[in-house]
Chain A
């Protein structure tokens, strides 16, 4: 039975009149606190040709607000021994501040101010675009990043998931301050955000402070919805890229449903059966028993719209790519022919359960888990998740393999060494 320590302990949830969702959880293990703010905007909300806005806003959120001049957000947190983190994903943008518990007010003051009072200083804007361009160049230096970008463009014809989160150099160069400010004003509103506090604090006094700092921010207009639907892929897509790598790499993308659908729970179990550890199907058969690949991994993660399940593998020296590809798909097909064994299902579920426990060891991880669970499911689903996974049968796994891991639903990319 999967247990979620978070689900069992008190998570206080409320919504302020301006629409801000607030989650508070006390954790008195160490005298520290983590605050996170999740804005419901990601690269998914961008128009093709103008990708990279959400990411640029994320950077500008550190470059000065009305109360905190450039550099002061960093220094205010750092000098009190804290840490800052932020990232932009396809679906949301995430900010995290951790501090000794006695400095909670600083974290909340920063988040309250930058929610609506980011300054977007023109000179900072220009300089930060340069920094992001450097970041993009670093990405381009890595063959794996450009490879994945190309694969996504092949797999998605219209949906914004096809675009890189950072944006292309041309797109970034083309952004104006007005355009980015407009994007910020559209999406950075209390009714489009989730605030989470986890740590050595008291719920009542924390809520009081949150109301004081965030309560006065007026509710904003509802942001536009993403209405683009990726049409069903009707045939296999393929691509080949030549880059500076020593061995060929294959990456296969399958279109899959988003989380919180019956099939998605079965796919999570399937994912572990395929590549969850050394005795998983693909690793055992194709890395250890018949050495076709030196490594093989897969990734299936939460998304708002249907995303992709990807399997990536590096070819062993001297193995033909045709044989490797055929063997890989044969192995996947075997799961369609016969359902997985009892111990495979049990092992996958144990791994998912333990994975959930490992995700609760630090207050940052707990805060992130609460924020993303609230975003994708609603916090009430924490216990439902455990039950859903528990209920998956061998036939469910076989069924989703038959339904989604099929030829016409896949995009096959090969990354080849330049000189071969």
Chain B
């Protein structure tokens, strides 16, 4: 019984792209559901571009953006936008830095002015920097308290070797202490330029009327050539590496996996389907269902290879939280699942269900302005086309059982993996 009608998602006519003279890429998505606007600026200035001895630099630069500009103190930056009931945040990732501002549609001018100011003219005030460094150091210390964080960082160390992804975003105590104000300024000058930046705006706006406003705030930002550093190649491990980190706790945390794939890998969509069947599709995934529901070994159990795939290789990571006495059984169970998906084709029902899940759920990720702005950036950075949401079902529907088995054999390695155990 079909209820209601299926309205298509917002047509691409609501989306537009403009590149300013200085190279700034502007992406716009009109969404008139609520009187809100969301602006996200994404700069290719992530932790992968900082040197090892300054680990945490890019994350610190990102954090410092909202801590004061040439014209405004840190307090002034936030007080206006907070008074209006909006917010402005900045953060970083391995690949990039982003500034995000949301406000009422009546405060669009304010939001544009804010974002351009923090992006272009951060002051990197010395005292703010010291304060922020302390905050980082406190976080680095607390990192050691959380078994999941400890495990993931240890895992990354062995999987990535010399590649920048081996180190945590917020760096280490020694490297943070070594960062100077000059380092922040240099990094900012090098990478924060309009031709290295994408600005996405989603919300209750007029695509035409907003362009002159954007030009007013961003037009004066000078273009500058950027040389993004080359990143080292990483090879997959050939042997098992096993490490234990001792930590008090009721549970034992198990991390098992190895190097993964890049987003542009031709098997990406095949592996998305594999992920849902194996371990990323919630409690009906094989790993969760068998190890949690059937055997009662774990409260949490999942695995994923596509979630971390980016311009750089991600990782295949399976995680389980178990009681210490169940550790061996859980690991054996997990490895059996990896073997099984390599050796036997998945069931037709599993395949169809996983595909239906991916396609059906893709719409849920498009709710709200933040999601729409991020969608624009994703489509732009990975060259997907703004009608990606319409093409996505085809990509997924093409995946066959043979594709999955072939991809499992090629990309899952129960014979050569890194195993990190955090617990007793």
- Across the interface, A75 reaches (CB within 8 A) one of B145, B251, B284, namely B284
Closest to B247 in A: A244
B34 close to A361 (CB less than 8 A): yes
Q: Which residue of B lies closest to A100 (CB)?
A: B360
> In the assembly, what is the distance between CA of A1 and CA of B390, in Å?
39
The CA-CA distance from A279 to B362 in the complex, in Å, is: 38
Most buried by B among A346, A350, A352: A350
Nearest CB of B to A382, in Å: 15
Q: Are A99 and B360 in contact (CB under 8 A)?
A: yes
A32 touches B299 (CB 8 A): no
Give the most central of B7, B292, B293: most A CB within 10 Å: B293
Contact assessment for B87 and A30 in the assembled complex, using a CB-CB cutoff below 8 Å: no
- A294 contacts across to B, CB distance below 8 A: 134-135, 138
> Hey, what's the 0/1 contact readout for A71-82 against B, CB within 8 Å counting as 1?
100110011111
Is B359 part of the contact surface with A, judged by Cβ < 8 Å?
Answer: yes
**Which chain A residues lie closer than 8 Å to B214 at the CB level?**
none
Q: Which residues of B contact A314 (CB under 8 A)?
A: 138
Of the candidates B78, B83, B282, B368, the one whose C-beta lies within 8 Å of that of A74 is B282
Interface assignment of B104: CB less than 8 Å from any CB of chain A? yes
Most chain B C-beta atoms within 10 Å of own C-beta, residue among A30, A82, A100:
A30
B161 at the interface (CB under 8 A from A): no
A357: B residues at CB distance < 8 A? 34-36, 104
Pair B3/A206 contact, Cβ less than 8 Å: yes
Q: Decide yes or no whether A216 CB sits under 8 A from chain B.
A: no
Q: Specify which chain B residues have a CB less than 8 angstroms from the CB of A131 in the assembled complex.
A: 292, 296, 299
Q: Which of A11-19, A137-145, A187-195, A254-262 lies on the face that meets chain B?
A: A137-145
Which residues of A sit under 8 angstroms from B84, Cβ to Cβ? 350, 354
B366 contacts A79, C-beta separation under 8 Å: no
Residue of B nearest to A70 (CB): B293
Complexed CA–CA distance, A134 and B323 (Å): 7
Q: Is the CB of A209 within 8 A of B33?
A: no
B4 contacts across to A, CB distance below 8 A: 101-102, 104, 200-202, 205-206
The A-contacting residues of B in range 245-285, CB under 8 angstroms, are 248-251, 281-284
Residues of A bordering B, CB below 8 Å: 3, 5, 28-32, 70-71, 74-75, 78-84, 98-105, 127, 130-131, 134-135, 137-138, 140-141, 143, 200-202, 205-206, 209, 244-247, 276-279, 284, 288, 291, 294, 314, 316-317, 343, 346-347, 350-355, 357-358, 360-363
20 contacts between A and B (CB under 8 A): A30-B9, A30-B364, A30-B366, A74-B282, A78-B281, A81-B356, A127-B296, A201-B4, A246-B138, A246-B141, A278-B82, A279-B75, A294-B138, A317-B138, A347-B82, A347-B83, A350-B85, A351-B85, A358-B36, A361-B36
Chain B interface residues toward A at CB < 8 A: 1-10, 33-36, 74-75, 78-79, 82-87, 102-104, 131, 134-135, 138, 141-142, 144-145, 147, 248-251, 281-284, 289, 292-293, 296, 298-300, 321-323, 352-354, 356-364, 366-370
